[in-house]
Chain A
Amino acid sequence: MTDQPEVPRDDAETVHEAELDQRMADILSGDRRSISHARRELREQGSGESDDLIGRLDALDYVDSLVGQPGSELPERLGEYRITDLLGRGGMGTVFEAFQESLERPVALKVLSPAMTSDQKMRRRFRIEARASATLHHQHIVPVYGFGETAGYLYFTMERVDGVSLDKHISRNITTGTSPDPRETARQFAGVADALAHAHRRGILHRDVKPGNILVHPDKSLALADFGLSKMLNEVSMSMSAAGGFLGTLHYAAPEQAKGKDASFASDLYSLGVTMFETLTNELPVEGRTTEAMLDAVLHAEPAKLRTKLPKAPKDLEAVIHKLLQKEPEDRYSDGEALARDLLRVADDEPVRIRRLPAFVRAWRTIRKHPALSTAIGIALILVIIVLWLSVEAANASQEQMLTRHRGLLDEAAKKVAERAGDARGAPGLLASLTGLTIGEIDDGNDVKAVLLEASSLRPEDFEWNRIWIAFKEDPESKATKQLRAGRGRAARDTLQVRIDELEDNAGFATGDAITLMKLYRLYLSRAIAYLTPAVADPVMAGKDLLRASLIRRGAFFPQVLTTILEWRVMDGPDALFTKLDRLLADAPDGGRKAVGALLIAYAHIDPPAGANMMSFPLEFGLRRRIHERGVEMWGGDEEFRLARDGAPGLGLEGRLRQHGREVRRVLGVADEIDRWLNDGRGIVEREVARTSPLRSWRLTYELFASPAEVEFTDAPDARDYQIRGLIEYLRLGPQPGALSELAPRIRLWLSTMTAQSIEAAQLRALFAAVTTSSDAFDLAGQWVRSDPEDPEAYLCRMRCQLARDVDEAVFDATMALQKAVDKPAVRSRVIEILREAEARNDEFTEYRRMFDSGN
């Protein structure tokens, strides 16, 4: 791999990787045909390294399938089929119009994307499904003619239907603003329902009923296509793009499919219900703009009523569709045949079977048919009911009162718990682990406890009260919280992942159980924080988790605040950030202001408060100071902040690495200790730092300490970021100039090849010159100060260069650094450290050092 700092590695491994890279390059230098040929060969090889290359080709295919290569890949023929035109392209392949020469008929030929079919098991499954669907013969099913494999391409052929897909039909209706005739549509869909019944009787599920898989003939009749096949291929496409990317297919999935359970006959009927709804109204019965929102809607939202969107639709049709869209499979139609019959009744304006008339109407009808008998039965029945009701009522009156009260108490407790634990400031512990500052008191929850005790005294055998209490008191994943507080973001993320998976699979998630959701709310928040740690440094994923948390508790304060802080740069600058935070604070509960202050303080710092876990963001220093000042203002006092900061145990991972680096530098000359320290440091990086985190640069820092002369710099562009950061860290820690004598020429060479525009390059140049006491060091440091006059590091660098030249100028720079510092104590100790070293050579500095020491 070349995207990480170059480290000594097993030579054989490096050579092997280089060979693989070259082989890939050879494949890529060919045209499409040779790439497809290479893929086939690799598949036949079936070794670890061919898997690596196939993985790369799959990624290539993913990109190409998305962008499309119009015209360029139209093959002339495939087996006995002569390709005549391109009909369309989808995620799983391309559909061509072709001519089957042996039977002299036009066909639609679907060529599957090679990425979908690179796996042997997959190909076998495809054959089974294709064979099964070829056995279906029905007027409303597009017949599959055959399937085959030529030149590595897997394809199947179907009847070439002279029409468009229902999908396009709907698009057209949206554009023209028309909606179809409801009764006519019911008749069309009766055919599809009958087709499903036909397939279901043979044990074949469609699994992916949606407008894209239904074709509209010129005579307006409909036909289902792609039985079993499209879903199977979708699954593969998903496993390749991993989860998350299934918004398009989620629209039509039944709730049980959305939960990942096996599809059933009833699932096909649900999807048909959604398709009908959309065809009639041009809208979906449940909507969600994001995958998460859509999933939430499919599982929990009540589907829209047909007549609210299309008032002219018959009531019976609304009832039919409503029944199809039931969340529980057993509440839908028992089979497609019954559905088809009801749809035909709707079309012919006859009453359908399922719409249950109100009880009194049914009773009235019966009485009208059999007046004498019914009257007798009716009177007897009413008498029996009255007697029963009175006796039960008497016996249960007190029991029921008690039960109602008990339930009322539980509801009250659950509501309180949700307000406290899932709310406003989020769990104070979480916030503390993010900012390193202890915020306010944790609610002791005595009032919740009092309510629950009362509930338990009423019904001690019902342990619901106990569950609520545990959910309130318990940290849903205390191990992760400990890991977070220790700055171990990556480990915390993994721990939380397991727990979240468990809870998401739990039935409670699907049914929207309040306690499960509350736990998940806290877990999503915790995982968002884990993503924000410097060890993981993935704000995109953090944003997703914050969104999930907001979905569970709409309007919750903490996720909103964090999202705002993460995204302010795409708004209109820091003013917009402050305005938005003020707006959020207007409705915030007590202590909210302080919490926001703490977040801003942590956000603004380069050297974060002890124990803080905020990702280090590249912000310019002027901005940092502004955000810091606003944070301190909200937090309420610098003194309090310092107390919190000095009192907190441990350091965030970034701080720990820096601290560790200083220790390494301290023991550089001690042979017995240096190895242990270096291994320890490398261990921390390997264990705690995610592959993509900028903290990977510390690996290079340690390598440089171990043997600066042996470190090889690679000019691979993606390794540069880490290398530059690593070098900067190394130079900031101030290695002995002697250690640089061999390294220096190579760094110079490397610097000369860098495009010099970035601030990092300027920093590196200046620091390097300062450490090597090069003659141009002072000028370079001056350039850095001019290019970024708000950066205290620039002044510190120039101060180093001034030490041997001019004591007053050096002290002036020290003062400037302190003035520009966001975190003054940290910079003060850096200044003192530098002055202490200078004291050894020039005792003029002693007085100044004491001055800074005493805080003047």
Chain B
Amino acid sequence: MALTPEAAFERYRERLLSVIYLRMGPALRTRMDPEDVLQEVAIQAIHSWHTLSDEKNVGAWLVTLARRKVARILRDQVGVAARDPRRERKMKTDLPVQDHRTGPVTAADRQDRLTLLSAALERLSPSHREVIILSRIENWPAKDIAKRLGRTENAVHLLLGRALKRLAEELKSEP
């Protein structure tokens, strides 16, 4: 049975939302709901479904769409000159991440853990953050990460190991 974009999307929903949430960073999240971005990615996925060459790669393909979407938003939003103060939006202190696969409690719990992870990642150095996101959230193979970072595969695993050590410390030190 051929895979439909809807089914693929449903299957990778959590991962995509995590990618979007973490890639957006705290500043952008106060302006824009990751759920909305997810919707846009879904629409894009349906439109460009025919460009997917192999169904086996659907996860990586969707993650790439999500990552590019966020990058585009960041590029458009960051560095925008001062706007009319009347257009200032109310700050959101929290954002709802509704996970349709599970009920409201699981969603709240997951939201909470995601917030915690995001805050901990923010406190890591950029390279540590990047290696964790690439390897665990976006699921890149070590070979590709190595190519991207200009390192050997062993160096990537070393970096990931050290990044995890810092992450463990940050998760524990959250007062």
Contact = CB atoms under 8 A, between A and B. Distances in A.
A63 B175 contact: no
A241 interface: yes
B2 to A, nearest CB: 17
A301 interface: no
Nearest to A719: B125
B87 A248 contact: no
A838 to B, nearest CB: 40
A353 interface: no
Contacts of A718: 124-128
Interface string B1-44: 00000000001101100100000001100110000000000000
Contacts of A580: 88
A248 B114 CA distance: 12
B102 A242 contact: no
Contact of A29 (B27, B132, B142, B168): B142
Nearest to A88: B102
Interface string B139-175: 1001000000000011001101110111110011111
B82 A572 contact: yes
Nearest to B122: A540
A721 B125 CA distance: 9
A540 B124 CA distance: 13
Chain A: interface size category = 35 or more
Interface stretch (B47-55, B67-75, B103-111): B103-111
Interface string A535-567: 000101100000100000000000000000001
B175 A572 contact: no
Most chain A beta-carbon neighbours within 10 Å: one of B18, B30, B110, B173? B110
B81 A573 contact: yes
Contacts of B107: 248
A273 to B, nearest CB: 16
Contacts of B117: 62-63, 66
B30 A210 contact: no
Interface in A50-103: 52, 55-60, 62-64, 66-71, 88, 90-91
- Chain B binding site: helix, strand, loop or mixed by DSSP? helix
Nearest to B169: A55
B40 to A, nearest CB: 20
Contacts of B85: 572, 575-576, 578-579
B93 interface: yes
A91 B88 contact: no
A247 B109 contact: yes
B102 A67 contact: no
A378 interface: no
Most chain B beta-carbon neighbours within 10 Å: one of A59, A240, A547? A59
A442 interface: no
Interface stretch (A20-28, A194-202, A762-770): A20-28
A617 B153 CA distance: 36
A56 B106 contact: no
Nearest to B96: A289
A248 B127 contact: no
B175 A212 contact: no
Contact of B83 (A71, A90, A241, A573): A573
B15 A59 contact: no
Contacts of B137: 63, 67
Contacts of A168: 102-103
Contacts, number: 200
A202 to B, nearest CB: 27
B27 A570 contact: yes
A689 to B, nearest CB: 16
B174 to A, nearest CB: 4
A165 B103 contact: yes
A245 interface: yes
A56 B112 contact: no
Interface string A708-740: 000000000110010000000000000000000
Given A59-B167, A63-B117, A245-B174, A576 B110 contact: no
Contacts of A483: none
A411 to B, nearest CB: 32
B46 interface: no
Contact of B18 (A22, A60, A66, A240): A66
A3 interface: yes
Contacts of A62: 113, 117, 167, 171
Nearest to A60: B164
Nearest to B154: A25
B161 A56 contact: yes
A88 B107 CA distance: 13
A291 interface: yes
A164 B137 CA distance: 29
Most chain A beta-carbon neighbours within 10 Å: one of B112, B117, B123? B112
Contact of B164 (A59, A252, A574, A579): A59
A63 B136 contact: yes
Contacts of B93: 289-290, 547
B65 interface: no
Given A63-B132, A573-B81, A246 B175 contact: no
Q: Which 5 A-B pairs have the closest CB atoms?
A: A167-B103, A248-B109, A24-B161, A718-B125, A573-B82
Given A91-B109, A576-B82, 14 more contacts: A56-B168, A62-B117, A63-B136, A64-B136, A167-B105, A171-B102, A211-B105, A212-B106, A242-B172, A242-B173, A249-B105, A570-B91, A571-B88, A576-B88
30 contacts: A2-B162, A3-B166, A21-B158, A24-B162, A24-B164, A25-B161, A56-B161, A56-B168, A57-B164, A58-B168, A70-B15, A167-B103, A171-B103, A212-B105, A241-B113, A245-B112, A245-B115, A247-B111, A248-B110, A248-B111, A540-B122, A567-B91, A570-B26, A571-B88, A572-B83, A572-B84, A573-B81, A573-B82, A576-B85, A718-B124
Interface of A: 2-3, 21-22, 24-29, 52, 55-60, 62-64, 66-71, 88, 90-91, 165-171, 174, 210-212, 240-249, 251-252, 289-291, 497, 538, 540-541, 547, 567, 569-576, 578-580, 692, 717-718, 721
